[in-house]
Structure 1
Amino acid sequence: MGSFIEVLREQMTFLLEQGLYDSAEMLGTFLMSLVSANGELSPISRAESMILYGDALYGRKEFRRALNVYRQALQLCRATSKQPMSSARTPVQSRPSSAASAVHDSKINENEVKFKIGLCHLAVNDTRAALSEMEGIPSKARSLRMNLTLAKLYRITGYDRVATASYRECLRQCPYVLEAIVALAELGVPSKDIHALFPQGQSKISRSTTDCLDPVRWLQRFADGHSSIATHDYKGGLEHFNNLAQRFPNNTHLLLENAKAEMAIMKNDEAAHSFEKSRQIDQFNISSMDEYAMLLRNRGDHMELNRLVHELINIDSTRPEVWVAAAVYWEMRDDKIRALTYADKSLRVDDRHTSAYVVKGNISLTLNRPEAAVMAFRKAQLLKADLRSYQGLVRAYLAIPKHKEALCAAREAMKAMPQSAKALTLVGDVYAAHQDGRDKARRFYESALRLEPTYLGSVFALADLYGMEGRTEEAILLLQRYLKTWADDALHTKLAQIFAASDKLGDSLFHYQTALSINPANDAAKKGLERLEKQMKGVDPDALEEDEENEGEDPDADAEEGEFL
């Protein structure tokens, strides 16, 4: 029977190496029958068979079953660890390069088994148990994969300091673990400290070189780019990524990072071009496509967004980005309940997907659920503090209203992004919500415009402030001054709104039509024009809109994938 067990183990190892987990699991049931029936088999040999069976179960994604089997194997190892090992070799030879076996010269690598137990815990979202198991592996015995997994676990559970140490160790083991470089940048490690982890001795080119193909220099550029993005220096990040793109043309990672940075600084046309080019290179990529969906919504491109969501669902419906894009689509269709359903679906797939919380927060605000919005934006901020989460928090707190908390969030944004006109505008928005704070609000808006004269958010905020103070003519003059040098559809739309509010309906009509001639997909202009037409007919547009909104809501509607067509 012993020789037959050895044959089955060898065959299971072969099946596992071929990735035939279903066949390996079926064969494993027969192996385990023989193992349990053979009372003469040594505990170590039993454990070796169990680990092979556990590997088959893990490959089939039966993580709880695998966890149970691995634990039994580890108990057998520990029970016999103090007993002298037999010098006889088993027929199952050591295969250090194979992930299928934890056998090494007839000894079991207990650290490898602990790691597999940790992976099972991680697969069933028991991160604390996974962390506890993997911390039991001595630091000197940890492989690169172990260190990277441990770093991710520390970060998930909020232990940023030890996560940073683990990511550093990953780069010492291999400087090309690019996700470790990105993580360190996001954790606030200065780029020069990341540079110090690279093997400087590799480079034989002068330190003054800017050649990105130098083995070290391009890694430094990569770190610099992500460090710039992490500190909200989007223009600096673009400079570094564009420099890399000259040596690594048509690189999807660089194109997507560029697109997101361009979105952050309101270069939406450039961002759209970067996203489109990335899709031309790799039409099946899903990473960052939820960000592209948000851009398409902002641009009012219904058809392209519809097409994008349909394609993403067909590519891989198990990714969180797909359902964020779906949520954005239904939000654009004004079906807020269905949009919220999809945002929640994305979070069930991955409860650490930042953009899902941002979208959920925005939808909650439109549904007049500011407390739920605060929770969503807070979670987004904890995962990745960017302007969108700060803006959402401020809007949500003002809607409750909690002005003190709104001001704290805005000032936190200003501290994180001291050179950002958007952050200054955010502080101004909080002051503008109070009649007594409007002078302060004006100063913040004017400071934002001095810092970034082309930021329309500050222009619109200042125009709205003038409108609140009854200074309509000043608001109109401000917007007209910008229109002289910048023929922008959003400027025409804002000017049309102010004219409509002051009953200058003819001027309002002209600017709405001009906005739509520049950008036919401008939703704000379309809706404004519809309201204006009702005003010109003597109909109350608000009463009708409220009725239509109530009629259009269907809280019981099920989200069907086919409806994206």
Structure 2
Amino acid sequence: MVLTAAENQGESCMLCQHRYHCMAMLGLSLQQLKQYRRAEAMLKKSVIYAKSLLKGKIVKASDLYIEGLTEMELKYSMAECHIVIGQPNLALSVLETVGPRSRSIKFNMLLGNLYQQSGMERSAISAFKEVLKECPCAIEAAEKLLMLRLPLSEVTHIMSSGDSPPPEWLLTFVKGLSARANRDFSSSVSTLRQLEEHSPLRNNAHLLATLGITYYMQGDEKCAMPVLQKAHELEPLSMEGVAMLGSLYYSDHRIKELEVLAAATVSVSENSAHPWILLAYYCHVSKRTTKAIYFAHKACSIDPLSVEGLLLKGGLLLELKKMQEAALHYREAMQLAPHRFEPYKVVTRTIFSISNKSEIIMLQSDNEF
């Protein structure tokens, strides 16, 4: 209503910069209310209006772009909206319109993730490097760079280039992540176990979750389960590793434990992919495949970059003989996490189980593994 009045009465009702602020805050509010299409449209309108004011020299940039309402921040929110409604390419296009010097740490992190999802590895590496330069202790950025085959020496050099060197335990932790990224799971497990047993990080939930995930990637489900269980007990509100723990419960037919884990995770947050992944596992093991597909789809909608969500949905689609759709999900999961063994295992098993040669050719051509 205020914006309509401002449009009809001009500056006699509201100053131009205040009108921009009102438009921008409305767009951000709509995003919080999960009205993503309306939010994106209003944020885009705000950005265009701000540019017209600056081009006409009607207001100063310092009066227009106040904290929280800069062009970079609005475009970041626009990209988030595009991602949620399944438009990652549009999200990437929006982010690329912001100059490198104006990009924040979280901006570069999202940009790097989208570049990685799109297979643009060199651009992803550049974005993650910027994150690590600004925040040398950003473990997620360091892990992303290692997964993109950047040498450990280069990653640790970036981390150590700041005013204060990172603690030794952090560099050891990154060394463990590097071994995992290079598929040397035995070395990774050894490094992480040593860190857990002989450092100030004993009983740290994040370290234990990382160790449990590494066991899982190694295919050692027997060791992975108790470690992931302990991590969850230490930090029951953390989502780290719960999807893999749910996968282990599912494969071991521990229906009761899976039900309890799913309920606990849903109570923490419904805005993460993890609770919906666990609900999908629970429905599938309970022979409710339709609901399982629905929850898996919801998980992927909430977080299109969720490897666990993509793998789960791909597996469910494969079970329903929807080969091409399943192949797309597995290909995307492999793009995000080429070190994960599940897509290779499932596709190999599927090829051996298919008797129709034409179906085998179709599956192989779709995946190009």
Alignment TM-score, normalising by the size of structure 1 = 0.56
Aligned CA distance change for structure 1 residues 84 and 319 (closer, same or farther; 3 Å): closer
Tell me if the contact between 1:309 and 1:322 (Cα under 8 Å) persists in the aligned partners: yes
Tell me if the contact between 1:115 and 1:134 (Cα under 8 Å) persists in the aligned partners: yes
Aligned CA distance change for structure 1 residues 395 and 171 (closer, same or farther; 3 Å): same
Alpha-carbon distance in structure 1 between the residues aligned to 2:105 and 2:246: 35
Alpha-carbon distance in structure 2 between the residues aligned to 1:360 and 1:380: 11
Tell me if the contact between 1:370 and 1:400 (Cα under 8 Å) persists in the aligned partners: no
Shift of the alpha carbon at 1:201? 5.8
Alpha-carbon distance in structure 1 between the residues aligned to 2:364 and 2:35: 49
Name which of 397, 414, 419 aligns with 2:351. Answer: 397
Q: For 1:227-376, list aligned pairs within 5 A.
A: 227-245=178-196, 246-336=199-289, 338-363=291-316, 374-376=327-329
Shift of the alpha carbon at 1:248? 1.6
Note the alpha carbon deviations across 1:350-395, whole angstroms, 9 max, x for none: 3443223433444455556666654544443333232221111111
Alpha-carbon distance in structure 1 between the residues aligned to 2:122 and 2:115: 8
Note the alpha carbon deviations across 1:2-59, whole angstroms, 9 max, x for none: xxxxxxxxxxxxxxxxxxxxxxxxxxx4365256424446644533443344343344
Aligned to 1:526: none
Tell me if the contact between 1:370 and 1:396 (Cα under 8 Å) persists in the aligned partners: no
Aligned to 1:173: 134
SS at match of 2:169: helix
Structure 2 unaligned spans of 5+: none
The alignment status of 1:67 with 2:40, answered yes or no, reads: yes
Letter in 1 for 2:269: D
Tell me if the contact between 2:137 and 2:159 (Cα under 8 Å) persists in the aligned partners: no
After TM superposition, where is structure 1 displaced by more than 6 Å over at least 4 residues in a row? Answer: 403-409
Alpha-carbon distance in structure 1 between the residues aligned to 2:248 and 2:32: 38
Note the alpha carbon deviations across 1:53-104, whole angstroms, 9 max, x for none: 43433443433333333333333333343445678x97x9x854xx2x44xx
Letter in 2 for 1:313: V
Note the alpha carbon deviations across 1:502-555, whole angstroms, 9 max, x for none: xxxxxxxxxxxxxxxxxxxxxxxxxxxxxxxxxxxxxxxxxxxxxxxxxxxxxx
Alpha-carbon distance in structure 1 between the residues aligned to 2:115 and 2:207: 27
Alpha-carbon distance in structure 2 between the residues aligned to 1:307 and 1:327: 14
Larger radius of gyration, structure 1 or 2?
Answer: 1
Q: For 1:452-467, list aligned pairs within 5 A.
A: none
Q: For 1:539-558, list aligned pairs within 5 A.
A: none
Q: Could you tell which deviates more after superposition, 73-82 or 130-139?
A: 73-82
Note the alpha carbon deviations across 1:251-284, whole angstroms, 9 max, x for none: 2221111112223334434322212211211223
Aligned CA distance change for structure 1 residues 264 and 157 (closer, same or farther; 3 Å): closer
Letter in 1 for 2:201: F
Aligned CA distance change for structure 1 residues 133 and 95 (closer, same or farther; 3 Å): closer
Q: CA RMSD in A?
A: 3.5
Aligned to 1:470: none
Alignment TM-score, normalising by the size of structure 2 = 0.81
The alignment status of 1:133 with 2:84, answered yes or no, reads: no
Aligned to 1:223: 174
Letter in 2 for 1:60: L
Note the alpha carbon deviations across 1:103-128, whole angstroms, 9 max, x for none: xxxxxxx4444444444434433322
Shift of the alpha carbon at 1:150? 1.8
Alpha-carbon distance in structure 2 between the residues aligned to 1:358 and 1:260: 15
The number of residue pairs the alignment matches comes to 360
The alignment status of 1:37 with 2:9, answered yes or no, reads: yes
Aligned CA distance change for structure 1 residues 300 and 136 (closer, same or farther; 3 Å): closer
The alignment status of 1:142 with 2:95, answered yes or no, reads: no
Note the alpha carbon deviations across 1:294-329, whole angstroms, 9 max, x for none: 212333433322322333334334433223323333
